Structure 1
Amino acid sequence: MNLSFALDSVRVLDLSRLLPGPFCTMLLADYGAEVIKVEDTELGDYARAIQPKLGDDSAFFHSVNRNKKSICLDLKTEQGKEVFLKLVENADVVVESFRPGVMDRLGIGYDILKMINPGLIYCAITGYGQTGPYSKKAGHDINFISYAGLLEFFGESDRKPVVPPVQIGDIGGGALMGTIGVLMALFEKGRSGKGQFIDVSIMDGALSWLQVLLPSYLATKERQERGKLDVSGRKANYDVYETKDGRYLSVGASERKFWENFCRVIGRKSFVLKIHTSDAEQNEMKAEIQSILMQKTRQEWMEIFDTVDCCVSPINQLEDLEEDPQFLERNMFQTFHDPELGEVKLISPPIKLSETPGKIRKLAPKSGEHTNEILSEIGYSEQQIGALLSQGVIKNQVDKS
């Protein structure tokens, strides 16, 4: 049975590396887009080398580059640029994550590409955007969320900010904003036939996450402090507590009705009216709640709270996720059967479409795996491909030099 995918007819050229760009194009590929990963003829995407590995490439690389093809081109050569420009003729989208100006210096920037293909959608995902005094700066996730004001709020009030363990800026500010931008541009192209340039700044995207904190400050100019926010553990009804077995529960009983139910279960109805009391009283309640929750294991408490509407959840560790009944019900892990690597388990496409669902159809490509195939499709003969290979302009998976 042939599945129909939402993005079946879309062709994407992906020049990005590491996480933000590849995560963006992974989502497009999961829902049917033909994503051609354009790598250089030397290191390629250095995410391939990250440990641990599945075969020749990292487990991380396989996750964010599944469902894609790979072609290796030396874009610093005239022949390599010629091949790329030929690919652009029939592409819908180009995604890249170089610093501003790199593609222009290579002679394949947006102004050149749109002359070849006026309907081309060109998405540049960068740390700070194409303009402004920071645009040429180097940076990683920690830098982007620092500038954006997010990192300031991670952690407790009397300690330094805590670095989050996941890439909030890279994914939330860059990859997802890039994906949304591409989809909006595709929608507009369907109406007008016109392509456009999408300037995604990870820093800008991260700033947009401050929808609760920043508008309040802009309205009042009152500064909020790390560890003093209602949603960052200041209050007893929104915090983390340890259980008897050294595991943890999260309590998110923000609304009065949830807090009342929680207090009833733990036998402290007197706490109900203290939901908005001072920090000192909040700390007293926290200490007493902690002493109560230490009397049972996490599982024992969850068996009690599972029947009560009070927003209490177990803090899962990685080994818990595959057994979580909600993730199992929603098929959030897919096992792919690879003839070379055997069974590989990956995170499933997260957006559930009723008619055109996403699917993991293949693992990440080997470096240059589809070079010959793609060149043949755009009119290169075997002799021409052989000549480009011997000149080092291209690389395929057979070429291990």
Structure 2
Amino acid sequence: MALAGVRVIELAGLAPAPFCGMILADFGAKVIRVDRTKVAMAMDTQARGKRSVAINLKTAEGVAVLRKLCVQSDVVLEPYRKGVMEKLGLGPQELLKENPRLIYARLTGYGQSGSYATAAGHDINYLAMSGLLSRLGRSGEKPYAPLNLVADFAGGGLTCALGIVLALLERTKSGKGQVIDASMVEGAAYVGSFVWKSRSIGMWDRSRGENMLDSGAPFYDTYETSDGKYMAVGAIEPQFYRQLLKGLEVDAGELPPQMSFSDWPELRRIFTERFASKTQADWSRIFDGTDACVTPVLSFDQVSSHPHNQERASFMKDSSGEESPRPAPVLSRTPAEPCRASDPAIGEHTVKVLEEYGFTSSEINQMLAAGIVEYNAVKAKL
């Protein structure tokens, strides 16, 4: 796999950092999640392919163990607020002195500098600070955050993974590691570059929810079907729009022009009535094989059984039968080979990992007895 041989230490966190770690693990990196001790269960739902080591970082001995893991690895991924790792003596300056090749990725909401650097926040706050939230939502309604996808996962975890891969590539030339300052505010804004840079060509001249791509256009929206399901319509170009009208059995000559903003409410009314006259399955049969850009809005229960997704094996099941998306993109020579075993229990791999990093059995047993590390063997042989 593409990242085979890369060793990653991931400090346990929520949402964006675990996603970043899962991406690296899916593509071959050996990712070790460092958990706290005395925790009943892991909150990491993106632990696929990772191993878990439980360390008591409230002890000097535990901090020393983590230091040894970090300086013998290629990547450290930490999701804490600014200053937390420095208080432990494990900041990038200290660790890079011991391992100049180390890549130290810091994934935070507001970044490592600026007046908000130590402030708490969540996806909706980062999205708001990026400027994008002001553009999301329907006309006449308040701004709407689309789940926690844009800042946490696109601007956060995915962008951080890109930074790590870039740093690994650069290290092959310079032999040196570096620090990655991944801010979810800036990552979200960067993901939204199209929105920012398209303002100059008039794509966002109208208020929120009244433009072509933000639910303002009737030919770029979702419509309810007679069985309470939905179809997604993206018929922007004239040739695609003609296909849409043909499928709906609507006479173009009896409609106002496609780009007549003032007539969009009337077009939306007509489309709403037409889509409500048939089931989702009916409309899928009508539009499949056309260029109308009309597709069913698939539920999680439907998505893997859709013929296209089935043919590409776009979704996979783990050993417990739980379904999730296959890693993307697909590489022709070194594709991802996602682990299908159950997610690790906290401390499941403590002993094995410490042995790999040079600790003796006697040292490990002493640390276990003293509560410096924790080992949970429940799943160790599954």
Same fold (TM over 0.5): yes
Query: Where in structure 2 are the equivalents of 1:64-213 lying within 5 Å?
Result: 64-213=46-195
**Residues 1:284 and 1:196: Cα distance change in structure 2 (over 3 Å):** same
What amino acid does structure 1 have at the position aligned with 2:164? V
Question: Which of 241, 245, 251 is the aligned partner of 1:268?
Answer: 251
Structure 1 match to 2:367: 388
TM-score (norm 1): 0.89
| 1:194 counterpart SS class | coil
What amino acid does structure 1 have at the position aligned with 2:352? E
Q: CA deviation at 1:80?
A: 1.1
Question: Which of 265, 272, 291 is the aligned partner of 1:283?
Answer: 265
1:40-86 Cα offsets, whole Å, 9 max, x none, are 113388515xxxxxxxxxxxx2xx11101111112232211221222
Distance 1:237 1:344 in 2: 36
Distance 1:36 1:308 in 2: 47
Distance 1:354 1:223 in 2: 42
| 1:343 counterpart SS class | coil
**Residues 1:176 and 1:110: Cα distance change in structure 2 (over 3 Å):** same
**Residues 1:208 and 1:236: Cα distance change in structure 2 (over 3 Å):** same
| 1:231 counterpart SS class | coil
Distance 1:239 1:343 in 2: 34
Q: CA deviation at 1:284?
A: 0.7
Q: CA deviation at 1:322?
A: 2.2
1:93-148 Cα offsets, whole Å, 9 max, x none, are 00000001110011100001001100000000000000011111101111111111
CA contact (8 A) 1:126 1:202 kept: yes
- Does 1:14 pair with 2:23? no
Distance 2:40 2:107 in 1: 18
Q: CA deviation at 1:223?
A: 6.0
Structure 1 match to 2:296: 314
CA contact (8 A) 1:18 1:46 kept: no
| 1:230 counterpart SS class | coil
**Residues 1:212 and 1:224: Cα distance change in structure 2 (over 3 Å):** farther
CA contact (8 A) 1:13 1:91 kept: yes
CA contact (8 A) 1:239 1:251 kept: yes
What amino acid does structure 1 have at the position aligned with 2:257? K
Distance 1:275 1:6 in 2: 47
CA contact (8 A) 2:235 2:244 kept: yes
Distance 2:361 2:21 in 1: 30
CA contact (8 A) 1:16 1:95 kept: no
| Unaligned 5+ runs, structure 2 | none
What amino acid does structure 2 have at the position aligned with 1:365? P
| 2:344 counterpart SS class | coil
Percent of residue pairs identical? 36
| Unaligned 5+ runs, structure 1 | 49-60
- Does 1:375 pair with 2:354? yes
CA contact (8 A) 1:16 1:98 kept: no
TM-score (norm 2): 0.93
Distance 1:259 1:253 in 2: 5
Q: CA deviation at 1:270?
A: 2.0
The two structures, once aligned, show a CA RMSD in angstroms of 2.2
Which deviates the most, 5-14 or 239-248? 239-248
What amino acid does structure 1 have at the position aligned with 2:332? S
Structure 2 match to 1:348: 326
Q: CA deviation at 1:343?
A: 3.4
Query: Where in structure 2 are the equivalents of 1:358-369 lying within 5 Å?
Result: 358-361=336-339, 362-369=341-348
Question: Which of 212, 220, 223 is the aligned partner of 1:241?
Answer: 223
Question: Which of 14, 17, 30 is the aligned partner of 1:34?
Answer: 30
Give aligned pairs, total: 377
| 1:43 counterpart SS class | coil
Structure 2 match to 1:333: 315
What amino acid does structure 2 have at the position aligned with 1:355? R
| 1:94 counterpart SS class | strand
Distance 2:355 2:115 in 1: 44
What amino acid does structure 2 have at the position aligned with 1:369? E
1:260-316 Cα offsets, whole Å, 9 max, x none, are 12123322222676111033x111111112212222111111111113211011111
Structure 1 match to 2:39: 43
**Residues 1:345 and 1:267: Cα distance change in structure 2 (over 3 Å):** closer
Distance 1:398 1:159 in 2: 52
1:183-237 Cα offsets, whole Å, 9 max, x none, are 00000001110000000000101111322332344788x8642111110121222
**Residues 1:367 and 1:31: Cα distance change in structure 2 (over 3 Å):** same
